[in-house]
Amino acid sequence: MIQFKYLWYSIRISGRNYNKGVTCIVFSRDRAMQLDFLLASMKKFSKAHIPVVVQYSCSENHTSSYNVLINKYPDVNFVKETSVRETLIRLLLELRTEYMFYLVDDQVFIREFDIKELLGKLKKGVFASMRLGETITNWGIKDVAIRGNYRKEGNFLHWRWNDNKANHDWGYQFSVDGTIYRTVDILRCSLSIPFKAPNSYEANMNSVILFKSNNSGISFKRPVVVNLIINASRQEKGYETCEAGEYTADDLLKLYESGKTFDFDKVASIPYCSSHHIINDINTILKDA
């Protein structure tokens, strides 16, 4: 049924017009402190302006922290979701840039990058990852060694996703954390599947025929964005290995309301070998008083 819907929507929306450029959609839930750091890091490290839409939901006690961000980032479009799928489909229908990518609110940019360099190399059947690079040799969630099968060309890495099925991140074609796609492809795939939260969205998108085909991947030689696993989202169970002793959303809210912030230099100095880096002691990345 999913594949039939995908083919039907491919025909139905084939005539949509898009402008050159790229838009970022960020998923966020009860993580104002982390979201603030993500948005600040994008502003700090991106050479080109990237339009950002934040699709968010929050518990009542987190509302004021999101209001702070809405006032702090007037150029960011904050959209409070009614349901994950309903709101996302509406946003995708409204997008008019040729390309788009997702981020989640526990990510952060760690070095300077020019997204136009990646956009210039994209075409149909090529997906660009900002979280992969030659330093990514470990699947951090389960602490498994991986070795990407790629070739180097100048400042970029090239690979075939299906040739890397055994290499976790290197073979995972659709993700909500920093891979650039054609907007029309994401729209037709998203319309074809059910989902309730980013985890099931990611899983079901990878079942669509587009992301089962042997598409090509490209990245910078070094990753520019990383997931800092500090606390798990409660929209759907995930990151089971982080459950014991993790920080709660309210723990981080108290830190944020007390004026605590993350330190760019401390975060950037971590030797990342995985796209998902677990933070066991949050004090190691907080800015000194």
Instruction: Return the pLDDT at 239.
Output: 45
Structure tokens at 263: 């330190």
pLDDT digits (tens, 9 = 90+) for 39-96: 999 999 999 999 999 999 999 999 999 999 999 999 999 999 999 999 999 999 999 9
In angstroms, the CA 249 to CA 253 distance is 6
Q: What is the mean pLDDT of residues 118-123?
A: 94
Bridge partners (DSSP) listed for residue 26: 54, 103
Instruction: Return the pLDDT at 289.
Output: 67
Residue 152: Cβ-neighbour burial (10 angstroms; 0-12, 13-18, 19+): exposed
Q: How confident is the model at residue 214 (pLDDT cuts 50, 70, 90)?
A: very high
* Region of residue 143 (left: phi > 0; alpha: psi -120 to 50; beta: else): left
The hierarchical CATH code for the domain 2-284 is: 3.90.550.10
Instruction: Return the pLDDT at 244.
Output: 37
- Show the CA angle centred on residue 108, arms to residues 260 and 256, nearest 5°: 20
Q: In the 8-state DSSP scheme, what is residue 283?
A: G
Q: What is the mean pLDDT of residues 259-273?
A: 95
Q: What is the mean pLDDT of the chain?
A: 90
Is pLDDT of 235 > 90? no
Do residues 92 and 187 touch, judged by C-beta distance below 8 A?
A: yes
Q: Cα 64 to the chain's mean position, in Å? A: 24
In angstroms, the CA 52 to CA 265 distance is 24
Q: What are phi and psi of 275, to 5 degrees?
A: -75, -15
Do residues 193 and 75 touch, judged by C-beta distance below 8 A?
A: no
> Measured between alpha carbons, how far is residue 213 from residues 131, 165, 201, 209 in Å?
21, 12, 18, 6
Q: Give me the sign of the Cα torsion angle 218, 223, 224, 226.
A: positive
Q: Assign 203 to helix, strand or coil.
A: helix
In angstroms, the CA 116 to CA 52 distance is 16
